[in-house]
Every structure is written in C-alpha cells, then in structure tokens.
Amino acid sequence: MATQTFFNAVGEALVGKVVNDVLPDLLRKGMELISNYAASGEDPVRPVLVSTADLVGVKQIVRHMSGRIRDFLDDDNLVTLGIHGRGGVGKTTLLERVNNNFHDIRAAQRFHYVIFVTVSRAPNIREIQKQIVKRLDIKSTSSTEYGRDIFRFLSNKRFLLLLDDVWEELNLHHVGVPTPCAENKCKIILTSRSKSVCCKMGTPRKLLEMKTLSESEAWILFKKNVGGDVDLDQRDQEICRHAEAVAKKCGGLPLALKIVGRTMATAVSVGEWREAERNLHLLEDMEEKVLSLLKFSFDRLRDDTVRECLLYCCLFKEDENISIHKLIHYWIAEGFLDSPHSKSISEAQDKGHRIISSLISASLLQKGHQIHNSSRNWTDMQYSDKYVKVHDVVREMCLWLTSSESDKYGKFLLYPRKGIDITLKSWTDVRRVSLCDLETHRKFVYPNEREICPNLATLLLNHIPFGELSIPTGFLQKTKKSLRVLTLKSCNLMNILEDISSLQVLRYLDLSNTKLPRLSNTINFSTRLQYLDISKNELQSLPDMIGKLEKLYYLNVSNNVLSSLPDSIDGLVNLIYLDVSYTKLERLPKNIGSLVKLQYLFLQGTELQSLPNSIGQLVNLMKLNVSQTKLQSLPNSIGLLVKLKYLDLMSTRIQNIPDSTDSLVNLKYLLMSKPSK
C-alpha cells in the first residue's frame, strides 16, 4: 500500500477536489515552521500510519475548520483542540487523516512524536498507556511502570497527542503524559461526541463541531453507495421518491448513509423501497435513530448465520484489531459455519472468509491494520486482509441488540460496557461472556450455587495478568451441556481442570500461558474438541489421551518443555495445524505420517536432529518450518510433499538438500542460510 498522507487517497471521494484544495492550506504554516526547527540531537519519528476510510461528505466541515486548524497550529499559546460531533459523522476518520499527514518527513519535523490513541467509551488507563508505550517503542520492564516511563520519555520531546473517542474527562497526569504548554510546544487534538467533555479537557477556546451533511450532499453520498444495479437517476419517479425519503431518514450521517445505501444496492422494485421507507422510523433521539438505521441494515443481511457472525464481533474490545484467523475459529466452534454441504474445516473456513467479505462490503466491518517495520525508527500501519475492526457505532448496535433482543440472540455480557445498562435477573438467557481486563473481572458477579447457565456458549477471559483471575469451583459444571468456546488465557486453573473435563460439547479451548505443569490421562477433554491451544506453559509431555481427540484440527503446544510427542498422536486424523515450536522436542514420532490432513507444521526452535521418512506421507502439507534446529539433513521423502509452498531451513546444520526436492513444483518460498555450528 502506498504511503498515504492527509492530501491523497481520496480521489474517488465525494469531496476529493475540495480536500486537495483546502487541506494543504491547513498545515501550511506548520510546514513553514520547519525552517525554525531547533535541533535537539534526535531525529523526529514519523507517526504510525493508521488505516482510514474515505473522507467523504465533509466538504462544508473542512471549509469551516480550515481557518481554526491553521490558527491552532500557528498559535503556540493554544495547546488543545477539541472536535465534537455525533457518532458516525466522521470524527475518527478526520483524526486519522491528521495523523497520517505527519508521516510526511517534512511535516514530521513539527513534532518529535505524533501519537494516536483510542480512548473509547470505557477508558482504561493501563490500556491507554499500553498504546502509548507501543507507539513510542518504550522498553518498559513492567506495566506498573508505564506511567513513569512515558513521562520520562516525553519530558524533553515535542509531541502531538491525538485522542480519539473520548467519553469523559481524562487525567493525562495519571497516564503519564507531560502537560502540554506554550513552553514545551506540545499539543493535543481530541474527538468526542460531547462538547462538554471537550471543554473539560481544556478546549473552550478551540472547539470544532463536525456537523451532519446537507440534504443535497447526503443524497449524493447515498446514491454513490447504492450504486450497483440501481441507478437512481434512471429509475422512475416513485422509486426516487422513496429513495430520497430513505436517505433523508439517515439524518445526514455519513456512516448511516453509507451502510443503508449499500444495504439497498440490490433493491430494484418500488415495493422494496416502499418497505424500506416504512421500516426506517423517524426518531427524535439521535443515538436511537442511528442504532435503528443500522439495525435496518442488520435485518437485511442474507441470513441468521451472517447476523450471528457480526454480533460475535462485539465480544472484542472497542477498536480492537480482530484476527480473522482467530475469529473464524470461534465461528466454527460456535457452529455458525456448520452446513450439510460443508464437510471439511477448509470449506467452513472458506465460508467464514466469504461472510467477512460480505460484511466489509456492507460497511458493517472495516479492514483492520497490520504494523510493518519499515525503517530503524518508524513503522507503517497498513490495511491488512488478516484483521478486521468494528466501527464503534456498529458495535453499539450489536451490543444494543444483544441486550434488548435476548429472546432471539441471547444476552451478551461484556465488561467494560459503559453506557448500556444490563440488569441481570437470571443467567438463563446469557449466551456469551467476555471479560476484557482484570479490573472488570473484579466487578463481575458469577452465578450463585443454585443457578445454571443452560445457554452459555462462549466464555472469553482475555488480557488478564497471570494469577489475577480465578474461576469459582463448580462454575463450569453449570455450562457442561452448552459451552462450546472457552478461553482461559493467563488464568489460574487451580481446581477447575476437572470441571473442564465435564464440558461435553466444548469445541474450542485456550489454556495458553496458564503455567500448566502437566496434563494427566485422567483429564478427558470433550471428544468434540476441534481447537486446543496449550502453548506457553510448563508441560514436559502430552498424555496419551490426546490421541482420542479425533475431531481436533488445530493443536498448539509451542513454548513448553516437552521433549517428545506421544505415539498416540496418530489418532488425530483430522489435524490440519500442529505447532511444536520452541520446545525441547528431539524427535518426531515415526507415525507422524498418519496425519495425512496436516497442512501446517511448525518445528522451529526445537532440539530436532532429523525428520523421519514418514514425513513424506504428509501429502497435504503446505508449510514446514524447521528453522533454528539441529537438523543436519532432509530425508529423500521430502520430495513427496508436492503441495508444499513454504519451507524454512534457516539457522540449521543443513548444507545440501536432496535432489528429490525438484519434485516440489508448488514451492514458492525456500529459506536457507549458512549452516550453523
């Protein structure tokens, strides 16, 4: 992806010309100040590029803000600028563009650091600090030292802090950010739905309101997103009349116009447009209006499977970069992708990717981003097909639905979850629970001894320091006939391993980083288990019972101390992914070739000295990594892996590869280095 600035990548947007004409002037004065840049012995660091949506529908907004942004950048006495407006009006997109403008090396010299931080509806000081530490590449020894480390790092730097989605006054002193002032030439720009919050953050002299679009601009944007088979300018007057009414009910909000427009892209009859107009209610409360508009698009999704998949995305933290790989594993475990026509995991994964593509096309999901180290001191954050994000307004709609329509979707319990009040009368309706951090767990109330949880299908416990979270004994017993997805990453497993054995329909289990010392044969995981992650533990061996998990397709035992795999592993006849990297593994079982469905095998960082000839029986293997091992040679049978695309032999003792590798006609990547001693 080409480097983006505030002045490009908007050629197809509604206001492309206006953006290109007006925005360069907004920072002209700041650019002129480069000549006065005082060398401090350090080069300025260009900001991380953040992925942005098209800057559409902000023609008047840009014109209104141009002078005031220019004044803000020029005036060293002004340190904080607040931008407020309704949800979905484009505040985040605008702030992302401001961030990306400073990626230009000339503009970057205005500040040593430009730091983009998402604050969110339920602000967490530790999470905010974590974002800043990551951006500044601070090597902090402990999360408890984040504040002190941030303060030390920034005390003699000029920085621009961009705070997105601020819902309440944020104490920067608690975060560790030095107070911006005229003397240190540091500045803050923040966005919020609340004018009051902007004022409390010190911006009464500098406030910008992002207003909604005029009717004419809204109509243009709506037509653009309908597109496809529906050319509204060429349709009869009755369709146009209903379409204009639908666009009007979007209230001039770019996000709503985009999503509803794309929802109606296939509507070609008068009846469809009439029904849409009838279903979109006129609401006085703007927040309810936006949620109602998005629900209209939600209801028009293809089927309940797609709707359930979208709702599942709200289990992740606000603005989180969600791994598509992980998300589809969750969907498979929940049974969303089950189908009489999909008989393999690969087919289910393909279906998952199609659903994600359809949700992105409908603007209900956004492409996520991936960080690339591009040089010594700065990184690119570019669009990636490996991650997705949920717009905060869409996420609110999902949370709204899983609070009010429990009869259909079941209740979702998420913590933190400010702004949406849930009075839990009974655990009967609870279907999915996600605890995002330690503080929220401390406030979480588990069911009492008499309550059961007959519908709880997913329990996600993430981002919690080891040993700080423990689950009451007997709690999991209440979910034994319903729980399909269980993530206990970094949790204290004391007294609950036996409870895990009782989970009859469990498909997905993550016990990584729990300091698990061993797994005994008395622990009988559900035979329906498909995904098992027991990485980053202290396991010295795997029990023979592991071979009974015939439905298992994913097994990660990396970063343990085990030296061998049990011979019973040949029972994993459906295994696709096996990661044994960074263990003390010395050999592979001779019957490893029985895993004929295996596609990914990771053995890097082990004590492996040889590969058995049976490796050639893995006819579906596509990726093999044996780097950083004591491997001295490859067996001739390696040439039988005709589907192999990736072979990593870096930092091994291999000097030559067998002639049989000529048969690897699909090999695209062969990585080798000088043999290690």
SS3 for 262-318 is: HHHHHCCCHHHHHHHHHHCCCCCCHHHHHHHHHHHHHHCCCCHHHHHHHHHHHHCCC
Q: What percent of the chain has pLDDT over 90?
A: 37
Question: Which residues pair with residue 508 across a beta bridge?
Answer: 485, 531
Higher pLDDT, 336 or 41: 336
pLDDT above 50 for 373: no
Average pLDDT over residues 4-12: 30
Q: Are the C-beta atoms of residues 508 and 531 closer than 8 Å to each other?
A: yes
User: Does the structure show a pLDDT above 50 at 76?
Assistant: yes
pLDDT of residue 21: 45
Q: How far is CA 488 from CA 123, 261, 311, 459, 668, in A?
A: 23, 41, 21, 8, 37
- Residue-range domain boundaries for the chain: 16-42, 58-209, 215-300, 304-389, 410-530
Residue 144 CA to chain centroid, in angstroms? 25
Conformation bin of residue 324: beta by default, left when phi > 0, alpha when psi is -120 to 50: alpha
Residue 22 has pLDDT above 60, yes or no: no
Q: Which residue has the higher pLDDT, 515 or 31?
A: 515
Confirm if 291 and 260 have CB atoms less than 8 A apart: no
Which pLDDT score is estimated for 357? 94
Q: What is the mean pLDDT of the chain?
A: 81
Q: Please report the beta strands in 232-272, taking only residues with DSSP state E, as ranges in sequence order.
A: none
pLDDT score, position 392:
84
Amino acid at 613: N
Preceding peptide of 178 cis, ω within 30°:
no
CATH architecture of the domain with range 58-209 = 3-Layer(aba) Sandwich (3.40)
Q: Quick one: 615 exposed, middle or buried, by C-beta within 10 A (0-12, 13-18, 19+)? A: buried
pLDDT above 60 for 39? no
Query: Helix axis angle, 254-263 relative to 286-299, nearest 10°?
Result: 20
Mean pLDDT over 324-340 rounds to: 92
Percent of the chain with pLDDT over 70: 77
Please compute the mean of the pLDDT values over residues 197-203 and round it to a whole number: 85
Out of 27-41, 154-168, 198-212, 632-646, the most confident range is 632-646
Helix (H) or strand (E) holding 555: strand 554-556
Res. 33: pLDDT tops 50: no
Chain mean position to CA 223: 30
3-state secondary structure at position 533: strand
Q: Kindly indicate the confidence band of residue 11, based on its pLDDT and cuts at 50, 70 and 90.
A: very low
Read off the pLDDT of each residue in 179-193 and give the average, rounded to a whole number: 90
Q: How confident is the model at residue 16 (pLDDT cuts 50, 70, 90)?
A: very low
Can you give the pLDDT at residue 55? 47
Mean pLDDT of 35-51: 50
Residue 504 is predicted with a pLDDT of 93
Long-range contact set of residues 397-400: C-beta below 8 Å, sequence gap at least 24: 397/290, 397/291, 397/294, 397/295, 397/298, 398/310, 398/311, 398/313, 398/314, 399/314, 400/291, 400/295
Q: What are phi and psi of 368, to 5 degrees?
A: -85, -165
Q: What is the pTM of this model?
A: 0.77
Residue 32 above 50 pLDDT?
no
242-277 per-position pLDDT tens digit: 888 989 888 888 888 888 888 888 888 889 888 888
Supply φ then ψ for residue 29, to 5 degrees.
-65, -40
- Residue 461 near residue 510 (C-beta atoms within 8 A): no
**pLDDT score at 382:** 47
Which tokens hold the place of 546?
């592991």
Cβ(612)–Cβ(638) below 8 Å: no
Pairing status of strand 577-579 against strand 600-602: parallel
Say which amino acid occupies 522.
Answer: T
For tokens 């990184």, what's the residue?
A: 379
Least confident of 119-128, 525-534, 537-546, 596-605: 119-128
Q: CA–CA separation, 487 vs 39, rounded Å?
A: 50
pLDDT of 40 higher than 90: no
Among the residue ranges 341-345, 385-389, 469-473, the one predicted with the least confidence is 469-473
Secondary structure element (H or E) that encloses residue 355, with its range: helix 345-361
375 sits in the region (left: phi over 0; alpha: psi -120 to 50; else beta) called: beta
Q: Mean per-residue pLDDT for 528-554?
A: 95
**In this structure, are residues 649 and 672 in contact, taking their beta carbons and an 8 Å threshold?**
yes
Residue 619 has pLDDT above 70, yes or no: yes
pLDDT by residue (tens digit) across 460-516? 987 666 556 667 778 888 889 999 999 988 877 777 888 898 899 999 999 998 888
**Among 416, 466, 421, 385, which Cα is nearest to 315's?**
416
pLDDT at 422: 44
φ and ψ of 468, to 5 deg: -90, -5
